[in-house]
Amino acid sequence: MDLKTLCEMNGASGDEREVRKALLEAAKPLCSHVKIDRMGNVIAYKKGKGNGKRHVLFSAHMDEIGFIIINATEDGLLQFKPIGGVDPRVAVSKYVVVGEKKVKGVIGALAIHLQSADDRKRVLGYDNLFIDIGAKDKDEALRECPPGSFVYYDNDYQEFGMGSVVAKALDDRIGCYNLLRILEGEYEADITCAFVVQEEVGLRGATGAAFASDADTVIVLEGTTAGDMGDVDPVRRVCEPGLGVCVSFMDNASIANRELYKELMDLAQEKGIAHQVKRGATGGNDAGAYQRGKEGKRTCVLSVPCRYIHGPSSVVKLSDIEAQYELAKAYAEQA
């Protein structure tokens, strides 16, 4: 399955059905056993050729940020809230699709001509944003898009420039794409690839996957915020697109196992895989859940730097996606 197909599927936290079904079918011929657990994670297990003493789990989350309908105004504009961390500044004027029917809409706000002086000095919150589907009134709007309907950005995956790609949901369909590629290989160690749900709303899927797995090592494949934009001082640029896979020593959810962190850095150096250190401790991801699961697990995160993350038009370098895969695969081969 290609990355374009994965990114153009819709699967916000709590609505991962379309993505889950596709990943399940893609993983079946590549592994020894695959299942969907009670949380909705896809757990693909591949028996290794060795003695079973080593078991490595690779994880990526299948969910993306999105929105959900909560009500409508009397004149037919849909009211909504974000799912996950979505800056309202990037939402205004974006095309969206709503609900099972994929009703076309656009996110709108009061025109600047009608805003007060105070309005123009602040970021308009979700209470001041609406989704316009062309409904004539509240009844028509809610008949087409009832409360609880999921909302997604409506834009295509495109490659552009010199080796870049722009799409929604690159965080973390990149990781899912590379997990499927990992499953294509043969290894001495036992391998589990966990495609987990609801990372964007609190690492919920990974919490269940962590307690169900007996893997001794977990490597999380993620996307992370690129810090190379505008007038950011070079010392504060956490990571940069085009410099390779980003290896994290710490974030707000976990601290990497120091031995595993060194193993990955040394392996990247030995194999000539482009890599960089995530020079900051911001954000968090599923490693936080895995590190605490059961009696605890060795964890480390391999991320692809992503500009405009959690927006409709995130941008990454294809070379960094490849570097993430190459380093994860190299670790699986030597485990």
Catalytic residues: 199
Residue 241 phi, psi (nearest 5): -60, 140
DSSP letter for each residue of 98-113: ETTTTEEEEEEE--GG
What 3-state DSSP class applies to 305? strand
Q: For strands 33-36 and 55-61, give the pairing.
A: unpaired
User: What single-letter DSSP state applies at residue 202?
Assistant: T
**Chain position carrying tokens 């390779």:** 244
Alpha helices in the chain (DSSP H): 3-8, 17-27, 138-144, 170-183, 204-212, 258-271, 287-292, 318-334
Structure-block tokens of residue 60: 């990526």
DSSP letter for each residue of 38-90: TTS-EEEEE--SS-S--EEEEEEE--B-EEEEEEE-TTSPEEEEEESS--GGG
Q: How many Å separate Cα 82 from the centre of its chain?
A: 15
Q: How many helices (H) and strands (E) does the chain have?
A: 8, 17
What 3-state DSSP class applies to 133? coil
